[in-house]
Chain A
Amino acid sequence: MKTSIIYKQLNTLSLLLLVLTLASCAKGQMRSAYRLNNLISRSSSSYREPSVGTQWLATLVNRNGKEKIELIDLKNKRVVSLPGINRSDSQPISVSVSANGQRLAFVRQRDDQTELLLYRRNLGTLQTLRLSPRGVPRRVSLDGSGRLLAVQVSRDGRWDIDLIKLSS
């Protein structure tokens, strides 16, 4: 009788230890942002090239077979309008957003040209950035302030990286 009680207590203790172990494993793992991810997965079947600001996610999204640049407000979980940034005759290749979401640098293919551009949301302006010496841009990365830009550039058959100081 006593042995049976001891076994029951040991079983309970083992179960408790298992639960505690699983709980400690669960803590310390990265957690999926479910609500946001559901919103993203519902709206399109293809998203790529993520760039995260303090509360912004810039990405390339495929809608009806056409890729475009999209900016998502992570705090309010909504897509932000970017008037003038997407053109029907161009294909975006890479995008990067500043920490405050006000500046987006991107590379796009239009006709036979690969263009490097800076979009200022507060002004709604688009500025073409020219590389010197000339090269073909591929990937971009803005710093938090949006005033320094790193660009992956193809020159003479080799990838290089340019750093560009942008004006305020």
Chain B
Amino acid sequence: MIGCFALAGCMSKVDRLPNSLLKLSKHDPALSGNGNKLALIVDKKNGSSVELQDLLKGTSLPLRYLSRHQPHSSPSLSWNGRYIAVITQRGNRRLAIIEDQLTGRVHKLPVPGERVPVRLSLSPDASQLAMQLSENGKWRIEVFNLSEIIEPDQPNQRLSGN
């Protein structure tokens, strides 16, 4: 489980949640648009792995394809957490992928050329993906339209089982 709800400034509310991963380093947090889910990277023996937490139930959610291809980095969630985007390792290449929690389908998002994905951000409705790319020692951001490959994840939709 995740860390804690912490007090922030005089106008914010704080709670602390139980923490079963206390000894493990956790980083790269990404909240779903509705705030009910949290993706994060946990440093484990087999490499940095993405985890998905249901903040309402206080439980970990299973990931299919993303149980492999470590190290993972820079997770990002859509509004209901239906889609989780993350950078994975495929051979000697870094590869951005999106796992659909509803269908189990995986979308691989190769970037043409020698550009290497460094960070990702999925728009709340999953229609766009911003990618920080490393190219010839420089960082740049490119925005990609995903509307032809995945259906939107809108605020009024619900995932089955939620």
Contacts and interface: CB of A to CB of B under 8 A. Distances in A.
Interface stretch (B28-36, B61-69, B86-94): B28-36
B140 A46 contact: yes
Report, as a range, how many residues of chain B touch the other chain. 35 or more
B143 A33 contact: yes
Interface in A96-129: 99, 116, 118, 127-129
A47 B139 contact: yes
Contacts of B142: 32-33, 37, 40
B12 A162 contact: no
Contact of A37 (B14, B32, B143): B143
Nearest to B144: A30
For the residues of A in contact with B, the DSSP-based class is strand
For the residues of B in contact with A, the DSSP-based class is strand
A141 B14 contact: no
A152 B144 contact: no
A68 interface: no
Contact of B130 (A50, A145, A167): A50
Contacts of A144: 32-35, 79, 124, 155
Interface in B29-47: 29-35, 38, 40, 43
A167 B79 CA distance: 21
B145 A141 contact: no
B121 interface: yes
Contacts of B17: 163
Given A57-B141, A144-B155, A161 B8 contact: no
B140 A40 contact: yes
Nearest to A138: B27
B6 A132 contact: yes
A32 B122 CA distance: 14
A164 interface: yes
Task: Specify which of A27, A53, A141, A148 lies most central, judged by the most chain B CB atoms within 10 Å of its CB.
Answer: A141
B33 A143 contact: yes
16 contacts: A50-B121, A52-B122, A57-B143, A138-B27, A152-B28, A153-B6, A159-B26, A159-B27, A161-B3, A161-B38, A163-B5, A164-B8, A165-B5, A166-B8, A166-B12, A167-B13
